[in-house]
Amino acid sequence: MNTTQANPSDSLPGNLSALLPDLEKLYTDIHSHPELSMQETRTAGLAADRLRAAGYEVTTGVGKTGVVGLLRNGDGPTVMLRADMDALPVEEATGVPYASHVRATDREGNVVPVMHACGHDMHVTWLAGAATALAQNRADWHGTLMAVFQPGEETAEGARAMIDDGLLKRFPKPDAVLGQHVMVGPAGTIGSRSGVITSAADSLQIRLFGRGAHGSMPQASIDPVVMAAATVLRLQTIVSREVGPTEAAVVTVGSLQAGTKENVIPDEAVIKLNVRTFDEGVRKRVLDAVTRIANAEAAASGALKPPEITPLDRYPLVTNDAAAASRVRDAFRRHFPADRIRETGPASASEDFGSFGTEWQAPSVFWFVGGTDPGIYAKAKAENRINEIPTNHNPRFLPVIHPTLETGVETLVVAARAWLSA
């Protein structure tokens, strides 16, 4: 086991350190040209070009914009490595020279700013680097490597779109499905665990129906704004009063829209909320409570009809297979210094990565790579201000390029070779 490491690139597998300048250019290029979910044509093209140049059999357009590359290198296991490609409708506020100034049209026809506020640009670069490094060092391993660049993770549709497009029938079943995500944490560190690692997520829309009136005549209305406000406040009691202290759940109302003018009471109000849970029983209890509260507040307001509750998207739990997670963790411990490997708790963030292992009935492992400047993180921790570090989805979220870039490439190569070198 390594105990010291002055420069992370000194221990990169094979000739990976020689790839870093080009990979940095790829990363800043993708960051500057983000694409919304299921619109990732340019990013997919860059990924496909990299795979072809490295000698992979490449299939594009899987699940609309997904890319699958296969590198067959003799008999042996098949390992799938996955990266997501999509960006978010967020206005970038990082101020770096390679910041995004992109505007795009979303599926509702709105022109929105676009930013890689969740780090998927880093994920694509990691997988491009790992795929190239493994191809250039194929004498050191045997088996089949499958590189999957997935669209639409942010809308929980990309993994399902690839599966529905025949992923399981068109490509070999993997012996292991591996993925990772950049998160707040000291750059160069890796967090992993067995069991549940990311939460289940359910997004819902609640449409509340009232009766509009002049703002000066509230007695003639059934005010959906008041109805919505009461509903939002009551929803906050689910976690504090209906979820046990040893359980975990998050209920967040991210949008409340009603009316257009201060002296007009509207007919309707729309609430959009997100629920995160780590247990199926808790999930059902929370979702049932959301429905009960919405209906009860509508009835209490004298609404003319019950609210309309519409599911928006759904992320399953991501659960790391115990034996496979142990195999990856042991490989990391052999390669990295001990102080860079951390046992992490389950994250309240959500992912559709787990769909691949579940549908293929193959063991999967997901882990986190820190992307925060270590000095900034240490100072924030000492001052009890870690919560002030911009998180994923924040307009100022920006992983430090080094050593985040080389660490993420290393982890994919090391984890893949835990099977391919067997």
As annotated, the binding site for Mn(2+) includes 118, 120, 154, 181, 393
Which DSSP string do the residues of 247-307 spell out, in sequence order? Answer: S-EEEEEEEEEE-SSTTEE-SEEEEEEEEEESSHHHHHHHHHHHHHHHHHHHHHTT-SSPP
- Quick one: CA dihedral 283, 159, 88, 126, positive or negative? positive
Tokens of 31: 């960051």
Identify the H or E element spanning 83. Answer: strand 78-84
The counts of H helices and E strands in the chain are 12, 18
Widest CA span in the chain: 80
Query: Residue 71 pairs with which residues in a beta bridge?
Result: 145
Q: 189 Cβ partners below 8 Å, 6+ apart?
A: 340, 341, 342, 369, 370, 407
> What gap in Å lies between CA 239 and CA 286, rounded to an integer?
8
> What gap in Å lies between CA 45 and CA 43, rounded to an integer?
5
Number of alpha carbons in the 13 Å side-chain half-sphere of residue 52: 10
Tokens of 252: 């967040």
CB 415 within 8 Å of CB 138: no
Which DSSP string do the residues of 368-379 spell out, in sequence order? Answer: EEEEE-HHHHHH
Tokens of 115: 């930013």
Binding-site residue positions: 118, 120, 154, 181, 393
Tokens of 179: 């993925």
20 three-state secondary structure: helix
Which DSSP string do the residues of 153-186 spell out, in sequence order? Answer: TTTT-HHHHHHHTTHHHHSPPPSEEEEEEEEEEE
- Quick one: CA dihedral 331, 334, 335, 336, positive or negative? positive
> What gap in Å lies between CA 274 and CA 113, rounded to an integer?
22
The tokens 């999967």 sit on which residue?
364
Tokens of 271: 């609430």
